[in-house]
Structure 1
Amino acid sequence: MKTTKRLKKVFSLGTSAVVLAAVLLGCGNEVDARTEASAAWVMEQVAELGPRPVEGVPARLGAVAGEIVASGTIRGAREVVVVAETQGVLEAVGFKLGDTVAQGDVLARFDDSIEALSADEAQQVLETARLELASTERLAQSGGASQTQLAAARSSLAGARARYERAVNTREARTVRAPIGGRIASVDAAIAEGNYVNANTRVARIIDTTELEISLSVGEREVQAVTPGQPVFVTIPAAQIAEVAGRVHAVAAGSDQQTGSFSVVVRWRNSDPHATRAGLTATVRIPRPDAEERIVIPAQALQARGAARFVFVASDDGYAERRSVVVGERQADRVEIVSGLQVGEMVIVSGITGLIDGARVAVTSPAAVR
């Protein structure tokens, strides 16, 4: 069987070489007749043609019938909007759009000279209150101070400690720090050195891109089949990610009062934070637990000629093999294959036009599963 397939490959490739030879002769190139007739010359021309570039994905198990499919916009599982807690002139700005920051990193700094003096003064008052309390306690032990005086000294110390902590917090508010680690998604236009900034001005939006999520809207029938922890598969076309595995994080206890749909939040670990960003659109499929799994391929790989249905499979040694298949259920851009393919076989999905059985191919993955 393998010998017959290999003969087919050689025949199809030889045909391409003969066509090439005819073109060369038509262009006036002088080719020796004996060389032209030799098999070695034919194979040399075939080698010069090189393999045809195509894109392929491995055949995988899945369930098309009964799946829940929905789309949404990606966001970070952890996102924060940083605001200025104080007002004044910005002395320094230590970040820009797209930067990666760690928790606690300084984003911006206001002039804090007055706040520093206030904190120092409050600290001195606190130390004085501590000394006065210690002295009053000694006097009280010897009968030289009443319980009322002792209570007043303790109250003074508590007040001094509160004023010191407020002074320290006020000074710390003059430095804006990142509350979480992540990437800078947006920056307010007012955030620049030398600008006067009011309190509660938005400084930056930080997204932790190590874990992403999507909030989906599903119907009342579909939500019955969704539970937290259930496996999901996310497709992100813009990032060229065919499928990444995740899980259902949360399911709403009630429907949206306006749309009647139920919110389902799915999350997954982001293996490539620079490619997959918040704001991209993604499609999520949630297989039903009781759905029968079959081989599933992209619908664009399926070819038809009359009643026949077939696909092209790339062999390990770099040849295209036309494979007749029996088709099952379809949904959007995916189709079930009942027979004709094995799990893991590389199915060609682009570069199919004009492709023939036995042609040499060089396969790349258009969207590697991550």
Structure 2
Amino acid sequence: MNARFRDTSEQDRPLASPSRRKPLLVVGGAAVLVALALLGGGWLKQGLSAGTAVSAARLSIATVDVGPLTRDVAGEGRVVAAQSPTLYAPGAGTVTLDVRAGDPVRRGQVLAHVDSPELTNRLAQERSNIDALRADLARAEVDARQQTAALQSAYENARIDQQTAQNDLARQTQAFEAGATARMQVERAQDALAKAKLALEQARDLRGLKTDSLALDVQAKKSALARQQLLVADLERQVAELQVRSPVDGQVGQLFIADRTNVGRDAKLLSVVDLSALEVQMQVAESFARELQPGMPGEISGNGQRWAGSVSSVSPEVVNGEVAARLRFAGAQPEQLRQNQRLSVRVLLDRRDKVLGVARGSFVDEGGGSHAYVVRDGVAEKVAVKLGARSLDRVEVLSGLQAGDRVVISGADGFKGAARVLIAD
């Protein structure tokens, strides 16, 4: 009987008493949520409305304020001579150098001479032609005087013949009136007077025309002689220039040929460096070169010293995106400067005392500088801005920002263009 019916001891299980901790945890959690909602409701709302969150440690933030704005261009320059002429061969021939590289020279000193037999022989020939032309001119002047004298004599004879014919006519007229001669004699005297007058007019006209012709011949000889004299003077200048002289005081720079070298006309011979007038040349980016103007103030520094300077010239040519500009020293030229010596250069483009601006950062170049992120209550908001003049460390604000605004100047690339970004501490 006991084997067929078992008891319920195996089915009975003791029930655990209910825990009182769970209701306490639920109540505590609800209280925390209520506290967060009451105390940080605004923060939660901003966090939920922001597109993303970025750590403040990754950002650089600057405050917009009113202060001075100085725009300048700085870089490295090298000392160059304001005058560094290169001398060329004035003619073809053999060049003999009278100096060596580095020798000090004075203005007008002979540095080299060119032996040009062709040019010297031509000068001798043209001088001989001058003597021949002088003889031709003298001969033409003598011939003109002779012919002028002959023409004058013919004219005087014609004038005397006319006077004689006129006197003869007067005598014949008186004799005819007295009945001492025939009328035929009077008419014959009248014809002789007419012929004498005609001869006198012809002699006078011939004298004038021939005199003008002789004067033109003499003038032509004089012009030919003057032209030959100009040619000889030019050849003498060319022969004199075969003595290559220094145009400035300074030092011989570079020799482009060896001594006793046969060169052609206009071949490079040597260069002269005028060390009394040195300038500093710097390369300026094309974007800044548009604003560079001669006369702008600058500063030159090197060897532990600083010197005031000013822009003397700006090259009109752009090479590899850069423009060459030169600065001259404002005062006395410093001593101990050498050609191609490296110096630091700074050119002041603009300076204003009261400008609304902010420190320059990557936000100036991002998006073309059309927007910036302003930090307010832990959230960076994207606002449209308009920027003006820019210096190396500061940028002018024209619109979109006010003094006191805190702007993310770098690190905003992680915002990915979001309109609002939560800044986490």
Normalising by the residue count of structure 2, what TM-score does the alignment of the two structures yield?
Answer: 0.44
Normalising by the residue count of structure 1, what TM-score does the alignment of the two structures yield?
Answer: 0.50
Structure number, greater radius of gyration = 2
Higher helix share: 2
